[in-house]
Amino acid sequence: MADITFIQVDADLARLNQYNLALEGFQRLMEGREVVTGPTAMAMRIALEDADADEKRDSDKGVSGKDLVSGFKKVMITVRNVIQWLLREIGKLVEKLGLGMQKLGNKKSKAQKKRAAMSEQARSNMGKSEELVPPGANQQEEPAAQEAEEAAPAAAPAEKVNPAFLTINGSFVGNDVEAVNNVVKMGTWINEDFPKMFDALLEDAVGLARSNMRNNSATYFYEALGKSIHKHFVKPKVMFSGQSHTSGHNDAETINTVPLLGDHGLTMVDPAGSDALNGTNPVELLRKWFIFDFSEYSTKKDGDVSIPSTDFQTMSKLLDLVDKSIESSASSSKAGAAIMNARADKVNAFLDELGKLEIDSNVPGEIATGLGVIMQRMVKCLVDTQAWYSRTLYQELTYLSACMDSGN
């Protein structure tokens, strides 16, 4: 389980959907027949990947309705296990969040103390040099130089600023208040708005699943799910651009934040297009439409980046901005985690119901797989955005501390 990734889970859900669709097709093929035998039965067994059937049964017995029921059950149990893995990942993230916020809080406190201890002369000197670090100075040192430094008994050197985390489109913007404020806004979204959106959407989705599991079709479930996504959708309060900066997404179907620090950004489902779920193979339609992808943008440029210093006033404004964000996130992330954990418990209770359900059609699997897609996309976005938020603010504090050192 430790080697599972969110990308693999997404692919597994796609395969489970295909397996479920095959079962539905075979069910139609068997209408009016108790058993399918001969070459058709062998093809069905191969398609269902039922190796045990070939080894343990006489091929003349063919494939019966019970075999299909067993297949439907297999899909349901596997999807349930996938969703439970995703729910456990939320629990793991909550633990990491606490440690990450503590680390950020400690670094922020050190920066505040350093600012308070600065002399008037040091404050005045800040920002007078054109560059804090010239291009190439932050590149990895030669192994021999590294070994010599490690062998020396000198005090540990100050942390180096990594410009890659504070750059947009090849330019350093860690000294830009608006760029840093966008990180703060994303922190508010992922720690306050996202948990509430997650809770409301999963509450609706599970309620719809429970009431539609025994229907002859999953059509109503997906139509209602689209409306729920439209209703509960909350986007971060940063600027959005009219184009996608990541591969594999259609500009007309997604909304995309402007590039953020580190050339990352959020590519999100456009909730206005919820009617995209009205059609055949709704699981695949959902996989294509329901996008929650926080990742690296194509705006990233290779090459050395110079790191400019900044004056005391700008540094102080940025430090206060980061300070307020960390303090707010430390409390809101705990509240958000409690909301998501409570919802995870309720989803788990529903999954227990699924395990006891007598299944004789593909509808329960089709609905459960849709829940899995929603969970996979949202949990991956949650993990990726939280990691970027913590890493970026840590680097910003490293930069501000280096600016203060430059004034001495």
CA distance linking residue 260 with residue 335, whole number of Å: 26
- Per domain, the residue ranges of the chain are 98-115+162-406
User: In this structure, are residues 355 and 271 in contact, taking their beta carbons and an 8 Å threshold?
Assistant: no
CB neighbours of residue 98 within 10 Å = 14
Question: Is 405 exposed, middle or buried, given 0-12, 13-18 or 19+ CB atoms closer than 10 A?
Answer: middle
According to the model, what pLDDT value does residue 154 have?
Answer: 36
* Length reported for the chain: 408
Can you give the pLDDT at residue 97? 80
How far apart are the C-alpha atoms of 81 and 87, rounded to whole Å? 10
**Which helix (H) or strand (E) element contains residue 281?**
none
pLDDT at 246: 82
DSSP per-residue string spanning 60-100: GG-EEHHHHHHHHHHHHHHHHHHHHHHHHHHHHHHHHHHHH
CA 63-368-289 angle, 5° bins: 115
pTM of the model: 0.84
Buried residues in 99-122 as b, exposed as e (16+ CB within 10 A): ebbeebeebbeebeebbeebeeeb
Cα gap 187→286, rounded to integer Å:
27
Tell me how far CA of residue 111 lies from CA of 114, 261, 390, in angstroms: 5, 20, 16
Helix (H, G, I), strand (E, B) or coil at 295: strand
Question: What's the number of CA atoms in the CB half-sphere (13 Å) around residue 345?
Answer: 5
- Measure the CA–CA gap between 1 and 184, rounded to whole angstroms: 34
Using an 8 Å Cβ cutoff, are 291 and 303 in contact?
Answer: no
pLDDT of amino acid 151: 39
Look at residues 354, 336, 77, 400 and name the one whose alpha carbon lies nearest to residue 190: 336
Q: What angle is formed at CA 254 by the lines to CA 253 and CA 255, rounded to 5 degrees? A: 140
Taking only the tens of pLDDT, the chain with its 408 residues reads 345 788 888 888 888 887 777 777 766 655 555 565 556 566 556 556 654 444 454 555 665 556 666 677 788 788 888 888 988 888 888 778 877 888 999 999 999 999 999 999 989 988 876 677 655 554 444 343 344 334 333 333 457 888 999 999 999 999 999 999 999 999 999 999 999 999 999 999 999 999 998 888 899 999 999 999 999 999 999 999 878 888 776 655 788 999 999 999 999 988 888 888 888 889 999 999 999 999 999 998 888 888 888 999 999 999 999 999 999 988 888 888 889 989 988 998 888 887 777 776 788 889 999 999 999 999 999 999 999 999 999 999 999 999 998 877
Q: How far is residue 408's CA from residue 404's CA, in Å, rounded to a whole number?
A: 7
CB atoms < 10 A from the CB of 244, how many?
Answer: 21
**Among positive and negative, which fits the CA dihedral 385, 390, 391, 396?**
positive
- Pick from 390, 157, 109, 158: nearest CA to 262: 390
Predicted local confidence at residue 217, as pLDDT: 87
